[in-house]
A = this chain, B = another copy of it.
Amino acid sequence: MKFNIALLAGDGIGPEVINEAVKVSDAIAKKFNHEITWTPALTGACAIDAVGVPYPDETHEICMKADAVLFGAIGHPKYDNDPSAPVRPEQGLLLMRKKLGLFANVRPTFTFPSLIDNSPLKRERIEGTDLVFLRELTGGIYFGEKGRKDGGETAFDNCVYTRVEVQRLAKKGFELAMTRSKKLCCVDKANVLETSRLWRETVQAMEKDYPEVTVSYEFVDAVAMRLVQWPNSYDVLITENLFGDILTDEASVISGSMGLMPSASVGTHTSLYEPIHGSYPQATGLNIANPLATILSAAMMFEDAFGLKEEAEAIRAVVNKSLEQGFVTEDLAPKGAKTYKTSEVGDWLVANLS
């Protein structure tokens, strides 16, 4: 098969981890007889520096034409202390999500047996955890009307959802639940918010179309607790944009393998794959960042965007092997153990693939 992949390396360690994901993807393509064309494009702080906006039209066109988008990370410290600056990298991210129609952010949290002791949680709490959040990504308070009144003394952000927006996200949730253990948890704040009541009634109405799926409804504050107490009691969770932002980040650290968690954003026009970690500015250029989350995101891309399960499994298998043999970057190595550079890990994976 032939693929055209838009390559958005972004800022900070983005280019370094993307580089390794490209290496590994190319090796997989070679092994399985596919042909990948990579089309690099600018986004984030580097796009602001180059052309003044964080998500240039040219980048958008490249993404629209691509079969999938592989994304690194964006964000630069020079924008961190001024969230009201007129142009900011995050705006690029939000614009990209909206313009590409990436309405469902798929964020798995799972554990690797060899890394379980890295978790801040006790072993018996985290063992067996394998959950997936589906976060709505193009609606809610992120995209509602916002502004100031009373000469700047009052600020407002409007949270808006339509039934159709909830349905398309929930549909993905039900479908995903059907491929897993048929348990779906709808996370809302229906005891306070009208948007949450719309979420809940919409999901309730869909239950009859998926009679095999057991649906539970939990308040966001309760989920924030149970994720720390019994993360392994969850399977598929669906939620709105802001709750998803908070809970998926909370979930990402419980496994102790944050540097390893991949993600996908799927939607109406294309789909995008990215590590969940940030641009890690302090590590930029040092060749020490952990490339595995990006490489596992590439695996998700092979499986979900191209339907190539075997290829995805091959990537996951070699990543597992590197973990078991301790061929890892410094963030994953036990104290005193030998550690490897970002590019060395990529090279090792390629060598062990073929």
Contacts and interface: CB of A to CB of B under 8 A. Distances in A.
Contact of A84 (B90, B197, B243): B197
Given A157-B195, A224-B224, A190 B83 contact: yes
Chain A facing B: main interface SS? helix
Nearest to A197: B84
A88 B122 contact: no
Interface string A146-160: 111010111111111
Nearest to A252: B225
Q: What are the nearest 3 A-B pairs in CB distance?
A: A83-B190, A155-B198, A221-B249
Contacts of A296: none
A175 interface: no
A76 interface: no
Given A156-B144, A160-B155, A224 B249 contact: yes
Contact of A125 (B120, B164, B225, B243): B120
Find the residue from A222, A228, A245 having the highest chain B CB count within 10 A. Answer: A228
B229 A194 contact: no
A213 interface: no
Contact of A83 (B81, B90, B200, B250): B200
Interface in A38-70: none
A142 interface: yes
A220 interface: yes
A120 B123 CA distance: 9
Given A154-B162, A159-B159, A250-B228, A191 B88 contact: yes
Given A120-B122, A120-B229, A253-B229, A220 B194 contact: no
Contacts of A84: 190, 197, 200-201
